Amino acid sequence: MNDYATMTKDELYDLAQELEIEGRSQMDKSELVAALEGVAERDGGSTSEELERSPTSSRTIWRGAINFGLITIPVGLYTAVEDRDVSFHLLAEDDGSRVRYQRINESTGEVIEWEDIVRGYEYEPGRYVTFTDEELDRLQPESGRVIDVSRFAQAEDVDLLYLEKSYYIAPEETAVKPYRLLAEALESSRRVGIAKVAIRQKERLCMIRPRDGLLVLETMHWPDELRIPNFDQLETGVEISPEELEMAQSLIDHLGGEFEPERYQDEFRARVEQAVQDKIEGDEIRLAPPEEPEGPKVTDLLEALRASVDEAREKRSA
């Protein structure tokens, strides 16, 4: 089940494209939510199979080519991640009726059909210039159907703050060899390709990285989209003693280990799903136990670090 309201507009659009929802390019976020809920209701439930991990959709969200040097690799992009949150409909509290979104003309109060809607940019309060889809298509950048890799950077040099969304890259049948070659070359050199790609009338910076023999495209934020951190409290001068630093490093070592994502579960989602089943069966909801009261607070940083190291050591030896 999906809680569409918590998904980004890009994620909603990708899902709408997979489901071939008409008019999706003109929808805002709330309208995409409403359209996807309508499809889920029509199909009798979730829009994707309820599996532990769903397979990649067979529909591409973008088709074009990767260029590096004089080599061209025809490829398609596929959504790599899906939201698995529990989906709730909005209901009127008094009678339980569905609450639905509509496209309302602000002046007349009438419902507007998709074919009667154009895009408008508000350049002054209440004043707009309008664009048709054809006009916007003509403004597509050169990167519209080509991912032209301009640089290969060291993977560790890319700040994770730039990363936005992941897509699997799959080759056309005729391009498997150069695709494999690029993937293996990136893997062995520990480098990533930096390029630009245009998806849905928006040009993005992107990174191409290898993952278990597969290429993954990460869309990235532009440099001017990253906010400058401004926290006055960090300007306050503090001294870290060598003993405090040593103890902190010891704690990190005791809690060190491989990243094993399968060890982490969405416990809140599981409790919500159980509560849904309990309500369906007319049973009392099994609420989570109340939080245990906190133990005595340790005000000395070094003492807290020592206690933390001791606790981590006991857990490892258990």
Q: Please give the pLDDT value at position 280.
A: 87
Asked whether residue 135 falls in the same domain as residue 248, the answer is no
Task: Report yes or no on 24 lying in a domain.
Answer: yes
Residue 271 lies in a domain: no
Domain count of the fold of the chain:
2
Q: What is the pLDDT of residue 295?
A: 59
- Give this prediction's pTM: 0.71
Same domain, 183 and 53: yes
Mean pLDDT, 10 residues at a time, the chain of 318 residues? 63 72 70 73 46 68 91 93 79 88 87 86 93 78 80 95 95 95 96 91 91 95 94 88 91 87 85 85 76 64 86 81
Runs of H (alpha helix) within 211-280 = 242-254, 267-280
Residues 6+ apart with CB under 8 A from 292: none
Contacts of 103 (CB under 8 A, 6+ apart): 31, 111, 112, 113, 114, 117
Q: Indicate if 144 and 11 belong to the same structural domain.
A: yes
72 exposed, middle or buried (CB, 10 Å; 0-12, 13-18, 19+)?
A: middle
Cβ atoms of 164 and 81 closer than 8 Å: no
The enclosing domain of 14 has a CATH number of 2.40.290.10
Same-domain status, 127 and 246: no
Examine the domain organization and report whether 144 and 15 are in the same domain: yes
pLDDT of residue 87: 77
Q: In the prediction, which pLDDT does 89 show?
A: 81
Whether 101 is covered by a domain: the verdict is yes
Q: Do 306 and 215 sit in the same domain of this protein?
A: no
- Residue found by looking up tokens 């080519």 in the block: 65
Domain housing 100: 4-225
User: So what's the pLDDT on residue 53?
Assistant: 64
